[in-house]
Amino acid sequence: MLAVLSPGQGSQKPGFLTPWLDLTGTEARLRWWSALAGVDLVRLGTAAGADDIKDTARTQPLLVAAALLAAEHLPMHDVALTAGHSVGELGAAALAGVLPAEAAITLAGVRGREMAAACALEPTGMAAVLGGDPDEVLAAIAAHGLHPANRNGAGQIVAAGSLDGLDKLAAEPPAKTRIIRLQVAGAFHTPYMAPAEAALAAVAAGITPADPARILLSNLDGAAVDHGRDMVQRLVRQVTAPVRWDLCMRTLADLGVTGVIELPPAGTLAGLVKRELKGDGAPEIVTLNTPDDLPAARDLIARHGMAPSHRPTTQFRVVVAPAAGAFARSAELTEGETIRAGQVVGHIGTRQGPVDVTAHQNGVLTEWLAHHDDPVAPGQPLARIGGRS
């Protein structure tokens, strides 16, 4: 199984889009998207300096545009899974078919402007806490009135909140940790961003999303999301909620992902995956930064991706697990029965209680892919539904 990852803020580098403008149609596409985002994406991706592209209002649409541009040159129909980090989730949602590219760019523009405005209301910041015992790190963050904004796995938790709280955390670091102050405008993914969440929600309410065409992981809890409206709500909530990239990587491992491509500007997420998913089952990774990297990315998809189907008369859709736990099939359902959109086909038994598994299209239950009482991971295929096109 192959995953395509879309990076978040902090991964950008001056001039990183320059080589992509040599490809036919790229500059025109960026100028169109610039009109939607309210920033000059061509200048930002080619001529702007580091301080210029560090501005939240500019960085966020630039990163989403970069991911979508590069993905246009990949055989995405053979990709099984997409995921993004922070604003990268907008790119991942577009690549999964939930949002049109134009909607993703527009939302990134709104998100960036509104988060920048929220940062200006009160002095706040972020700091990476590297190493240490995770429980002790989280306790220290809470003790200083801070929030765990990013839990990135590989021994990295990002604290966010008041500058005074960050100073105290640096003065009294948890055992065996190193603290690095991040050069960001404010406390992203915390309650300080509430005004930005409200503004983004008002715009997102006008979007009509589609259900994902492939597995799409959420930063909220690492779960696979199989309903478009649910994903849009999660994208809005993510502005104030922590980024659980650690749980996304756990799902990659649970699903047995064997190949990973990180879209430009690539390197950060590939590094986290490499440090977290080690050993015999470690996925093969390609960092896609320039058009020169496209042959390696296409080769990885050819070897780890899904085989394309040339039988258009019957279309199949897979129902996936929304959470981790024990799967219980609906007793009255058997293979060959007709089911309707919204029908409950089973439950996942979790520590918090049962979670419904629902079908999101009408069709025929052609095959159970998981047995009764099987332990399942978020995103794991449970049943196949067929329908005539």
Q: Which residues are the active-site residues?
A: 86, 189
Distance from chain centroid for Cα 185: 22
* Per-residue 3-state assignment (H helix, E strand, C coil) for 32-96: HHHHHHCCCHHHHHHCCCHHHHHCHHHHHHHHHHHHHHHHCCCCHHHCCEEEECCCHHHHHHHHC
For the CA atoms of 47, 30, 13, 57, what is the dihedral angle to 10 degrees? 100
Give the phi and the psi of residue 259 in degrees, each rounded to 5: -140, 140
Lookup result for tokens 């293979």: 335
Give the whole-angstrom CA distance, residue 150 versus residue 333.
Answer: 41
Give the whole-angstrom CA distance, residue 227 versus residue 209.
Answer: 9
3-state secondary structure of 368: strand
Give the whole-angstrom CA distance, residue 320 versus residue 322.
Answer: 6
First to last CA, the chain: 26
CA atoms within 13 A on the CB side of 240: 16
3-state secondary structure of 206: coil
For the CA atoms of 273, 275, 277, 279, what is the dihedral angle to 10 degrees? 140
3-state secondary structure of 309: coil
Lookup result for tokens 């985002």: 37
Give the whole-angstrom CA distance, residue 317 versus residue 381.
Answer: 10
Q: How much is the CA Rg of the chain, to the nearest whole Å?
A: 21
